[in-house]
Structure 1
């Protein structure tokens, strides 16, 4: 890879654990929390992709609400309006993975510009990073709202290139979502895939440039590069 002049992170499932809402789901339907959270996330992703293909964009909060309503009906686990509101609010306060705060601190200490590029709305991105106390780690919070379509459409990835004012070849894109990493690699970013679960990479004609099991490993890799340089 060429010299990296900035790092762009995906938000959901990469820096933050979407299933940190499972505990709250469990309070409404004990023992079913992770099942609810898993299907909710699956439908949330499907709805962003389908909305993009249909040319009927809605913001991420709406896709999230719609996905939760479907999940409740599909699993026949009723959630009243107050419960759905509470769960969607919890999605604005999901928790970072344990290694993330220190890893971001170490990357920032290297004077590396850090950004988030997410399908989340500007409001949802800001809410998540503020609730976790990590907003100050990022120079840019970039939302798919600006493109009015969701990743993995190329116009969303271009937002980060334009915002950082660097050629895409000099921006490392980091995601734990293989479909997202594939989209970014197809666009032309060098890509680091965070594979926490030890899964195979998606068969979409792309391969990540670097694979790590956690963000701390990415930091170690950067520190080695700097030491070698």
Structure 2
């Protein structure tokens, strides 16, 4: 039976560590640490703003997190360099397993959507640059309802926009907080565990599937 797949974008389809090469030119051997801290703070800001009902779009969270990380690590980045990094955030690469996995699922008749905290225009540019925009029926962004994952309203919005039900949809994400949000509205879930260093939150709930690669999805749902 065909399913409706909700694919998280940042960290699931798109490798946010792809910014590290550019950071290398700015902060040298601190690039990996900087990239990780930046990503963590970006998500923290989205969580906090969601709880506070003080919405700004995800690009603002990204920019403010960059500024904070630069100050925290005492690694100054000029305004011009910061803008270059933010522009490059719209051109990050897809993980190597993504194109094949999406084509397999699409060929099998499943309905694929990109589902993200990002702005619609940013997501269009990002997925197009990564060469995978054509795989998706549409892009569904939290910007449409002005809150962030893992607010349950976001997942209900996805189901309404995609004309899907919780039992015939599957949220695919590398982010445990995202999957827990989907579980809150009874969506099926698949965790893409891209590193053995990643661990699922011990909340007495587990995803329906735990996979190490997106290419395992087709086999999991079609045998």
Moved more, 56-65 or 158-167: 158-167
Is residue 7–residue 13 contact of structure 2 (8 Å, CA) maintained in 1? yes
CA distance in 1 between counterparts of 2:96 and 2:126 reads 15
User: Per-residue CA shift, 1:90-124, capped at 9, x if unaligned?
Assistant: 11111111110111111111121100110111122
Is residue 194–residue 211 contact of structure 1 (8 Å, CA) maintained in 2? yes
Query: Alpha-carbon deviation of 1:126?
Result: 0.9
Give secondary structure in 2 for the equivalent of 1:29: helix
TM-score (norm 2): 0.96
Alignment partner, residue 199 of structure 2 = 200
- Equivalent residue in structure 1 for 2:94, among 93, 96, 100: 96
User: Per-residue CA shift, 1:147-169, capped at 9, x if unaligned?
Assistant: 11000001111121011212111
Alignment partner, residue 174 of structure 2 = 176
Query: Alpha-carbon deviation of 1:5?
Result: 2.3
Moved more, 37-46 or 183-192: 183-192
Name stretches of at least 5 consecutive residues in structure 1 with no aligned partner: 225-229
TM-score (norm 1): 0.94
Give secondary structure in 1 for the equivalent of 2:55: coil
Query: Alpha-carbon deviation of 1:223?
Result: 3.3
Moved more, 121-130 or 55-64: 121-130
CA distance in 1 between counterparts of 2:162 and 2:3 reads 9
Alignment partner, residue 141 of structure 1 = 139
Alignment partner, residue 227 of structure 1 = none
Spell out the pairing of 1:48-63 with structure 2 (5 A cutoff): 48-63=46-61
Q: Does 1:73 align with 2:71?
A: yes
Is residue 2–residue 109 contact of structure 2 (8 Å, CA) maintained in 1? no
Is residue 4–residue 172 contact of structure 1 (8 Å, CA) maintained in 2? no
Name stretches of at least 5 consecutive residues in structure 2 with no aligned partner: none
Is residue 5–residue 112 contact of structure 1 (8 Å, CA) maintained in 2? yes
CA distance in 2 between counterparts of 1:135 and 1:127 reads 9
Question: Cα gap change, 1:111/1:4 in structure 2, threshold over 3 Å: closer, same or farther?
Answer: closer
Query: Alpha-carbon deviation of 1:54?
Result: 1.3
Is residue 4–residue 171 contact of structure 1 (8 Å, CA) maintained in 2? no
Query: Alpha-carbon deviation of 1:4?
Result: 4.9
Structure 1 vs Structure 2 CA RMSD: 1.1
CA distance in 2 between counterparts of 1:49 and 1:126 reads 23
User: Per-residue CA shift, 1:47-67, capped at 9, x if unaligned?
Assistant: 000011111100010000000
Alignment partner, residue 219 of structure 2 = 220
Is residue 175–residue 194 contact of structure 1 (8 Å, CA) maintained in 2? yes
